[in-house]
Amino acid sequence: MFDKILIANRGEIACRVIRTAKRLGIRTVAVYSEADANAMHVAMADEAFLIGPAPAADSYLRTDAILDAIARSGAQAVHPGYGFMSENAGFAESCAQAGVTFIGPPVEAIRAMGSKSESKRLMDAAGVPLVPGYHGAKQSVGELTAEAARIGYPVLVKASAGGGGKGMRVVTEESGLAEAIASAKREAKAAFGDDSLLLESYLAKPRHVEIQVFADTQGNAVYLFERDCSIQRRHQKVIEEAPAPALSDHVRRAMGEAAVAAAQAVNYVGAGTVEFLYQDGRFFFIEMNTRLQVEHPVTEMITGLDLVEWQLLVASGKPLPLEQEQLTRHGHAFEARLYAEDPSRDFLPAIGRLTHLEPPVENRHVRVDTGVRQGDEVSMFYDPMIAKLIVWDEDRDAALRRLRRALADYHVAGVTTNIGFLGAIAGHAAFAAGEIDTGFIERHRADLLPPPVPVPALGLAFAALALLLWRDEEAARAATRSGDPHSPWHQTNGWRLNDDNHHDFRFMDGAESCPVTVHFVRDGWRLDLPGGPLSARRATLAGRTLTAEIGGERRTATVVQSGLDITVLHDGQTWRIKLDDPSAKAADRDAGDGRLAAPMPGTVVQVLVKPGDTVTGGQPLIVVEAMKMEHTIKAPADGTVAEILYRVGDPVAEGADLLVFEAAQ
């Protein structure tokens, strides 16, 4: 076994590997960019080395910088995590040339499975069933169009070197194919440095089921059961579970054996995942990921095994700890991926500081894998994952209850998150019934992504009471510091001459003004709210946790204030309001001024119009790439493009005006 390993990654997965290494007595070395100098994985590691500026291309993707850190640290092996260098055959080869063990599969296996086209050829030869499609070298629009016609629409356009849904498009008819090819090629080139594509028949209602495989250097290979990853959006996994529900034992075994055959076909070593589409009792190979998957914790929860420990054992030359017949599973597990993103804005990644971060309490049923702490910054440079929330229980129904409760108990403020969206999925009747496939989110979109509603009276009441109690605390501190602690000027009871004691608050819910008056009454307060009065009493505040009897019910919420922004977190819901600031309100730009802004920091990759063009509502105007995903800015109505403010290749800040648009009269 190794004495010291370097983790060539960051964030949650780096922290995950460090935890296992520490348990095994292995010293750990972190690498970090300038943006990650104070990151959690850096603090956890025994040593850490700066490898470059914030952009991943200048730091985490620099082979020379990482190899230099390996040499300086004396690490014997490097764990690549997932993403970044994990499936980079050139990096693995460089490690071998430097005499350092790459904790992953052989270079030849990475190369074979790194190309979706080559992997499908190998799987076909090994007898693993494939989705009908085209995996050839001909890449012109005309040739791909001819192949799509042969396969039949709808087709899936897919980056050959890709993963994570990047460079992937569903095309329902030939008229949309050329644009999809161009867009997928750009995204694939930016994400993977390779714009080659493949085509597959798009199955109507498939499930995405993957098999965890492991192989050692002695020729042993096993499968550690399956995971269902069907709950996806844009082909990116949202919630995963293990085992996959409603599969027969025959299908489970057949898929597991096919996955082992796939691994053996490329002389695989280490942890890998073989992914299948399953529909109507049949399954088809789609790809193999030659690394540890993001969702590996659900397999750990049902098997009781540490897959990172298995990786370290295999990489050090030891045989697999268990044979196939010794592997067992127990219970059911879910993993939900918590992201800083805005579901109401088509899941645009969000950036900002985590002003409040309170995960649910961890125990044998609840696990939180994260790489951030309260106060950390979610930046534009990296994946905006906050954490993976993993739950386990004896069966699926019990585990799903755990998931719903844990999501409700996960409190995040400072950035917009997808927690409410995850809670909507976990609480959906169809999900509870196991009626899942890759189209689940789109099919139930109206339920999962309802239109925004005003902040309810309860949210306003929590905010007003919290402000009131915070003022009491500050006044008490000021009185203690003063020369006359009993002065009436320290009182906060809202005393008025010729009027009852009260405080007036004014909040903004978007553009809506929400006045709240808090009257002091004998046994508490009466709150005059936009929807009518509410009584409140017995309110206590412990830090940011407010407990009060409101409207005759005892309730608890977390209330976070940052400047004028107030976030109320209660029972899985998040309400955001602002203290009304007339000067800030006057400075707000009129939303109807004809300008279109960048939804987040990024780079302009395509300008589809020119000044003077007449366009129709919904017509694409500019394409911005952010976090390796493309976002198309469309015309809000019929009108004319008056001015274009950026060119292809220009960086843009969030909120920057991209063009001037004049709506038709």
**Least confident span in 82-86, 164-168, 526-530, 570-574:** 164-168
- Angstrom distance (rounded) from CA 22 to CA 19: 5
Whether 539 and 524 have beta carbons less than 8 Å apart is answered as yes
Distance CA 421, CA 444 (A): 12
Residue with tokens 């394409």: 623
> Which pair of structure tokens corresponds to residue 335?
């993993």
Question: Residue 168 and residue 162: Cα distance in Å, rounded?
Answer: 8
Lowest mean pLDDT among 202-216, 234-248, 288-302, 591-605: 591-605
Residue-wise DSSP of 212-244? EEEE-TTS-EEEEEEEEEEEEETTEEEEEEESP
Percentage of the chain beyond pLDDT 90 is 72
| Alpha-helix runs per DSSP H in 232-340 | 249-265, 296-303, 307-315
Average pLDDT (423-432) is 98
Do 131 and 286 touch, CB atoms closer than 8 A? yes
Looking at the predicted structure, is the pLDDT value of residue 627 above 80? no
Cα of first residue to Cα of last residue in the chain, in angstroms, is 74
Q: Residue 590's pLDDT is what?
A: 37
Distances (CA, A) of 480 to 306, 473, 477, 485, 492: 54, 11, 5, 6, 15
Using the predicted structure, report yes or no on whether residue 493 has a pLDDT greater than 90: no
Residue 163 pLDDT exceeds 80: no
Residue 283 Cα to chain centre, angstroms: 27
Q: What is the mean pLDDT of residues 488-511?
A: 68
- Distance separating alpha carbons of residues 514 and 529, to the nearest angstrom: 8
Q: What is the pLDDT at residue 368?
A: 98
The pLDDT value recorded for residue 120 is 84
Query: Is 348:342 a contact under the CB 8 Å cutoff?
Result: yes
How does the average pLDDT of the chain come out, rounded?
91
Instruction: Please count the residues of the chain.
Output: 665
Q: What is the pLDDT of residue 582?
A: 57
For residue 499, pLDDT beyond 60: no
Highest mean pLDDT of the ranges 40-49, 189-198, 648-657: 40-49
Does the pLDDT at position 345 exceed 50?
A: yes
How much is the pLDDT for 497? Answer: 44
Pairwise pLDDT comparison (184 vs 115), residue with the higher score: 184
445 among known catalytic residues: no
Q: Which residues pair with 515 in a beta bridge?
A: 506
Find the catalytic residue in 62, 207, 227, 291: 291
- Residue whose C-alpha is closest to residue 565's, from 581, 551, 576, 552: 576
Q: Residue 525 phi/psi, 5° resolution?
A: -145, 155
Chain CA centroid to CA 551, Å: 37
pLDDT at 423 over 80: yes
pLDDT range class, residue 591, cuts 50, 70, 90: very low
Neighbours of 618 (CB within 10 A): 10
Predicted pLDDT at 161: 82
H/E element, 273: strand 270-279
- Report how far residue 150's alpha carbon sits from residue 319's, in angstroms, rounded to the nearest whole number: 46
CB atoms < 10 A from the CB of 330, how many?
A: 11
Task: Provide the 8-state DSSP code for 306.
Answer: -
Percent with pLDDT over 70 in the chain = 93
- Give 587's contacts (C-beta < 8 A, 6+ positions apart): none
Count the helix, strand and coil residues of the chain and give each as a percent rounded to the nearest 5: 30, 35, 35
Q: What is the pLDDT of residues 280-326, one digit of tens each?
A: 899 999 899 999 999 999 999 999 999 999 999 999 999 999 999 99
CA 321 to chain centre: 32
At 61-95, the pLDDT tens digits run 999 999 999 999 999 999 999 999 999 999 999 99
Residue entry with tokens 């009792």? 281
pLDDT band at 136 (very low <50, low <70, confident <90, very high): confident
Question: How confident is the model over 466-493, as a mean pLDDT?
Answer: 67
Bridge-based pairing of strands 197-201 and 155-159 is antiparallel
Which distant-in-sequence residues (6+ apart) come within 8 Å of 558 by Cβ? 356, 358, 411, 413, 544, 545, 546, 568, 569, 570
| Mean pLDDT, residues 107-127 | 87
On the question of pLDDT at 407 being above 90, the answer is: yes
CA dist., res. 343 & res. 233, Å (int): 11
The rounded distance, in Å, linking the Cα atoms of 183 and 179 is 6
pLDDT greater at residue 655 or residue 161: 161
Is a pLDDT exceeding 60 seen at residue 211?
yes
Predicted pLDDT of residue 625 = 79
pLDDT for the residue 477: 73
Secondary structure of 149-203 in HEC code, one letter for each residue: HHHCCCEEEEECCCCCCCCEEEECCHHHHHHHHHHHHHHHHHHHCCCCEEEEECC
Which residues have CB under 8 Å from 148's CB, separation 6+?
A: 134, 155, 171, 174, 177, 199
Place of tokens 């569903």: 170
Query: Is pLDDT of 583 > 50?
Result: no
Cis upstream peptide for 243 (omega within 30°): yes
Classify the C-alpha dihedral 119-67-186-273 as positive or negative.
Answer: positive
What pLDDT does 164 receive? 67
Partners of 408 in beta bridges: none
Burial of 350 from C-beta contacts in 10 A (0-12 / 13-18 / 19+): buried
Mean pLDDT, to the nearest integer, of 215-232?
97
Q: Is the pLDDT of residue 589 over 60?
A: no
100-114, 500-514, 540-554: least confidently modelled range: 500-514
Average pLDDT of 615-642? Answer: 84
Contact 201, 152 (CB under 8 A): yes
Lowest mean pLDDT among 40-44, 69-73, 163-167, 247-251: 163-167
Q: 590: which residues sit within 8 A by CB, 6+ positions away? A: none
CB atoms within 10 A of CB 641: 23
Of 82-96, 127-141, 251-265, 321-335, the poorest mean pLDDT is in 127-141
Q: Nearest-CA neighbor of 322 among 240, 216, 245?
A: 216
Average pLDDT over every residue of 508-533: 93
Average pLDDT value for residue range 226-249: 95
